Amino acid sequence: MSDDGPRILRPYGDTTGDGMVQVSFTLPVAHDKRAEGAAAQLASKMGLDPVMVVHAKQIGTSHTFFVVYGSVKHLVNTADVQVVERDYPLLSSKEVNDAVKENLGRKLVVVGACIGTDAHTVGIDAICNIKGFAGEKGLEYYRELRVVNLGAQVPVPDLVNRAVDEKADAVLVSQVVTQRDAHLHNTREMSAAFREAFGPAERPLLIVGGPRFDEMMAGELGVDRIFSRGTTPGDVASYLVHALASDVKEPVG
């Protein structure tokens, strides 16, 4: 976000400032005219006026997926928006390796996993595996990092025990499954287990990531950092240096 001062924003659809937005949702009802009317009524109660149901498709025998289009009157003041800004330098792989070697004098140990019943390793693999993500090599590529990727469906006690065995400096947990806030429950369970197993000065850095996490919730969930969608291995490696192997704490402009 630029520092040009507050800006009042309204959604843009066909013309500037027209407030047009598109919303999708599913209703537990078979598709017919009454179902479309229910979708339009729901959108109206959400503040869209006028409302157009632009797409409706039945799912199975008793559900319908809708896309509605309409205008909202709401405005957003960017001065009121709260986000987690990156407060550390984004480093190259060489800079990461040099910082770890100079400040730790040994390899930085990272243990990664998907916990609970989450079998989706795409996130943890994108960060840890050497093939990486978005054109960046994963953490295994960094010669001064030792990465242990435990994969999917790792019970929290097993993760804690492995972190102890490996003398982990940092633990990375990816959570993709979010039904009924499973990612939040699993993260709270994990952070509580590490607090019980380690003293405050001995606990490894706890980092979680996934597309549905709110980066503002790190303190509430008991972790040190949350990474959301779009995170690359370089983001994580740079944060590891910032938190564990560097005296540089100044915000980045």
CB-CB contact of 128 with 147 (8 Å): yes
Provide the 10 A C-beta neighbour count for residue 103. 13
Tell me the sheet residues that pair with 113.
173
Ranges of H-type helices in the chain: 33-45, 93-103, 122-128, 156-166, 182-197, 218-221, 233-244
Instruction: Please name the residues in contact with 107: beta carbons below 8 A apart, sequence gap of 6 or more.
Output: 100, 144, 145, 146
Tell me the sheet residues that pair with 66.
25, 56
Select which of 57, 131, 137, 167 is catalytic.
131
Q: Would you call 167 a catalytic residue per the annotation? A: no
* Angle ∠(180,225,141) on CA atoms, nearest 5: 110
Distance in angstroms (rounded) separating the CA atoms of residues 234 and 92: 7
CB-CB contact of 152 with 120 (8 Å): yes
The half-sphere exposure of 84 on its side-chain side, counting CA atoms within 13 A, is: 13
- Residue numbers annotated as active site: 131
